[in-house]
Chains A and B, each alone.
Chain A
Amino acid sequence: MKREPVLRVVGKLLIPYMLMFALYVQFHGDFGPGGGFQAGVITAAAVIFYALIFGLPAARRLVPEALVETMVAAGAFLYMAVGFAGLVLGGNYLDYFVLDPDPVAGQHRGIFWVEIGVLVTVSGVMLKIFYMFAGRGRAV
């Protein structure tokens, strides 16, 4: 598909905006529809779009398999690390109140890091699923 000039140009124009939109959705989860899961899916969609136009090997060079598998685990681990941080700082598990001297700022901080963990895991999982399905032999 990368021989098609229209697809190539439109893809190159759109993909940066898709990633930007994903970041917008990520950080506006507090105030509007959005959050980690939606942003993760949009990020993965941008990379999948790239893979559809420029081919799976190019996408694999851009986002290697090992990185994707690490993302899946690292995001979940980050979420749980925020929970354990609450424990270590004297509160309960997943206690955001103790993460900052001001409890409201602590809530903001906790949700911020937790949502980043969700973003990383969800985009990793979506990419992993795409790589697994697209990478299987065509002989079937």
Chain B
Amino acid sequence: MTLEHLPALQVMVPLAAAPLIVLLRHAGFAWALAVAASLFAFGASLALALEVSRAGAISYAMGNWPPPWGIEYRVDALSAFVLVLVSAVGALVAPYARRSVAAELPREQHYLYYAVHCLCLAGLLGMTITGDAFNLFVFMEIASLSMYVLIALGRDRRALLASYQYLILGTIGATFYVIGVGLLYLATGTLNIADLAARLPEAQATRAVLAALAFITVGVSLKLALFPLHLWLPNAYAYAPSAATAFLAATATKVSVYVLLRFYFTVFGAPLVVDALPVPQILTGLSIIAIVSASLVAVWQADLKRLLAYSSVAQIGYITLGIGMATRDGLTAAVVHLFNHGITKGALFLLVGGIALRAGSVDFGRLRGLARTMPLTCLGVTLAGLSLIGVPGTAGFISKWYLVLGAIEAGQAWLAALVVLTSLIAVAYVWRFVEAAYLSEPGSGTAVAGEAPLAMLAVSWVMVAACVWFGFDTSFTVQGARRAAELMLGAAP
């Protein structure tokens, strides 16, 4: 009985955990429930991914109303891949959060933090699994509102303004998305994604459909922090609680990339988006600006979290660069980098959370000589930094490799050269950390109480190990991404 209802349980178990946590109100139980729900979600996503790779796409009718009348949950190669990433990060951050949240939030708020974490996880999972365009908006707002709350819980008062700015920009983005879906509904009469894909060719390239494409692009780009709509990201990541930043950096923008892919290739279809419209060129141009400018800005940051936030904007540029190539290898690269960047940034922010716990802040002044007191953490950051750069032997290299292959396949060798050159800028900002931690003398402000707590360190190192593992064993990531890319470029959803 359970396996056939797994698509519903995937989202509903974390979602049901949230009010349960609020009812129980005890911080310890709250954490335990959050961990249990996240682990269940991870197990469910693995089972679904296995089933999809074996038997093809799964469709689940909510409330037993057959699609397209009712809301349908649809797990195919692309959504199963993203589900595994999101639930894996959620399952790792939940146990980690115990020490981190205890250090950064007052005790009365702990159970609320875990409730909102479960809501955010449910929202992100729901966004990925749903097959209905308006249901996607509902889950998008569940996830976004939870994210605004998570960010506003930060210690620094600047977290409040960061959350407010993200709220304004994020709500504008979501409303643009709703406008786009409304125009699509007016043009076709349906909200089901598969049904939209079937009916859109008749309404092809009318002004309403083109306007819908434009609105959805801008709306989702606000959520995925594509240049120039990325202005909310550095502040939000820098001032949020460390566990929240780790969770958001690894999942929020990735799910928005998934939404973009879903709409471009399943709903509108590659013939309209890639061949008839200059969308790939626009995406490529914006991605290049994002990569170069954000990487350069990252080099000059005074704060490690802000540096990593700008690095995120640049890495998202790589993902959209892969989408802009719109070839099989390009899309494979985009989906692979979605996963690899998720685990890399997740690992980095988890480790930085440990530093924040012990050192009090992550200002570069505080980090001088950190390697003496926190050797394992600094080694982890260095390894994950190598993955950011794309050194062979790490997950980041696999993404860059496929980006280069995709560029060559698209006949644009200069893009391949660009990918390699911009990785050198990443060397500059990773080197800043290495220099401060390993090669500097501890200054006056660096009174550090030793290595991070074991629970936090263990979880962070699981992520770091994943960065290295997926650099060597690419069967899951590359095959999953390739299947997703072929699905998108192929025939029916």
A binding-site residues for B, Cβ under 8 Å: 69-70, 72-74, 76-77, 80, 83-84, 86-87, 91-98
B32 at the interface (CB under 8 A from A): no
| Least distance between B63 CB and chain A CB atoms (Å) | 4
23 A-B residue pairs with CB within 8 Å:
A70-B23, A72-B22, A73-B19, A73-B20, A73-B22, A73-B23, A74-B23, A77-B23, A80-B12, A83-B8, A91-B64, A92-B5, A92-B8, A92-B60, A92-B61, A93-B5, A93-B8, A93-B9, A94-B8, A94-B63, A96-B63, A97-B64, A98-B64
| Least distance between A48 CB and chain B CB atoms (Å) | 22
Chain B residues whose CB sits within 8 angstroms of the CB of A87 once the complex forms: 5, 8
Residues A77 and B63 in contact, CB atoms below 8 Å apart? no
Complex: A86 Cα to B5 Cα, angstroms = 11
Chain A residues whose CB sits within 8 angstroms of the CB of B19 once the complex forms: 72-74, 76-77, 80
B246 at the interface (CB under 8 A from A): no
B465 at the interface (CB under 8 A from A): no
A86 and B63 in contact, given A70-B23, A74-B23 (Cβ under 8 angstroms): yes
| Least distance between B118 CB and chain A CB atoms (Å) | 12
Q: Which of B62-96 contact A (CB under 8 A)?
A: 62-64
Counting chain A CB atoms within 10 Å of each CB, which of B18, B19, B23, B61 scores highest? B19
| Least distance between B17 CB and chain A CB atoms (Å) | 10
Complex: A15 Cα to B15 Cα, angstroms = 35
Complex: A92 Cα to B20 Cα, angstroms = 22
| Least distance between B111 CB and chain A CB atoms (Å) | 11
Residues A93 and B20 in contact, CB atoms below 8 Å apart? no
Chain A residues whose CB sits within 8 angstroms of the CB of B23 once the complex forms: 70, 73-74, 77
A93 and B62 in contact, given A70-B23, A87-B8 (Cβ under 8 angstroms): yes
Residues A92 and B22 in contact, CB atoms below 8 Å apart? no
Main secondary structure of the interface of A (DSSP, over half): helix
Complex: A98 Cα to B64 Cα, angstroms = 10
Chain A residues whose CB sits within 8 angstroms of the CB of B61 once the complex forms: 92
Chain A residues whose CB sits within 8 angstroms of the CB of B12 once the complex forms: 80, 83-84, 93
Of the residues B18, B22, B25, B63, contact of A93 by C-beta under 8 Å? B63
Residues B16 and A92 in contact, CB atoms below 8 Å apart? no
- Number of A-B pairs whose CB atoms are under 8 Å? 51
Chain A residues whose CB sits within 8 angstroms of the CB of B8 once the complex forms: 83, 87, 92-94
B binding-site residues for A, Cβ under 8 Å: 5, 8-9, 12, 15-16, 18-20, 22-23, 25, 60-64
| Least distance between A64 CB and chain B CB atoms (Å) | 14
| Least distance between B13 CB and chain A CB atoms (Å) | 10
Residues A95 and B64 in contact, CB atoms below 8 Å apart? yes
Chain B residues whose CB sits within 8 angstroms of the CB of A92 once the complex forms: 5, 8, 60-64
Chain A residues whose CB sits within 8 angstroms of the CB of B64 once the complex forms: 86, 91-92, 95, 97-98
Beta-carbon nearest neighbor of A75 in chain B: B19
Chain B residues whose CB sits within 8 angstroms of the CB of A76 once the complex forms: 18-19
Counting chain B CB atoms within 10 Å of each CB, which of A72, A86, A92, A98 scores highest? A92
Complex: A22 Cα to B478 Cα, angstroms = 56
| Least distance between B78 CB and chain A CB atoms (Å) | 23
Chain B residues whose CB sits within 8 angstroms of the CB of A77 once the complex forms: 16, 19-20, 23
Complex: A72 Cα to B12 Cα, angstroms = 18
Beta-carbon nearest neighbor of B23 in chain A: A73
| Least distance between A1 CB and chain B CB atoms (Å) | 32
Complex: A72 Cα to B18 Cα, angstroms = 11
| Least distance between B278 CB and chain A CB atoms (Å) | 42
Complex: A60 Cα to B95 Cα, angstroms = 37
| Least distance between A103 CB and chain B CB atoms (Å) | 10
Chain B residues whose CB sits within 8 angstroms of the CB of A94 once the complex forms: 8, 62-63
Complex: A80 Cα to B23 Cα, angstroms = 14
Given contacts A77-B16, A93-B12, 11 further A-B pairs with CB under 8 A are A69-B22, A69-B25, A72-B19, A83-B12, A84-B16, A92-B5, A92-B60, A92-B61, A92-B64, A94-B8, A96-B63
Beta-carbon nearest neighbor of A81 in chain B: B16
Chain A residues whose CB sits within 8 angstroms of the CB of B62 once the complex forms: 92-94
Beta-carbon nearest neighbor of B63 in chain A: A94
Beta-carbon nearest neighbor of B2 in chain A: A87
Complex: A77 Cα to B19 Cα, angstroms = 6
A95 and B5 in contact, given A76-B19, A77-B20 (Cβ under 8 angstroms): no
Beta-carbon nearest neighbor of A77 in chain B: B19
Beta-carbon nearest neighbor of A80 in chain B: B16
Complex: A72 Cα to B9 Cα, angstroms = 22
Complex: A61 Cα to B12 Cα, angstroms = 35
| Least distance between B328 CB and chain A CB atoms (Å) | 36
Chain B residues whose CB sits within 8 angstroms of the CB of A86 once the complex forms: 63-64
Chain B residues whose CB sits within 8 angstroms of the CB of A83 once the complex forms: 8, 12
| Least distance between B97 CB and chain A CB atoms (Å) | 20
Beta-carbon nearest neighbor of B4 in chain A: A92
| Least distance between A96 CB and chain B CB atoms (Å) | 7
Complex: A93 Cα to B130 Cα, angstroms = 14
| Least distance between B412 CB and chain A CB atoms (Å) | 46
| Least distance between A118 CB and chain B CB atoms (Å) | 13
| Least distance between A115 CB and chain B CB atoms (Å) | 15
Chain B residues whose CB sits within 8 angstroms of the CB of A70 once the complex forms: 23
| 10 closest A-B pairs by CB | A93-B8, A73-B19, A73-B22, A95-B64, A77-B19, A76-B19, A94-B63, A73-B23, A92-B64, A80-B16
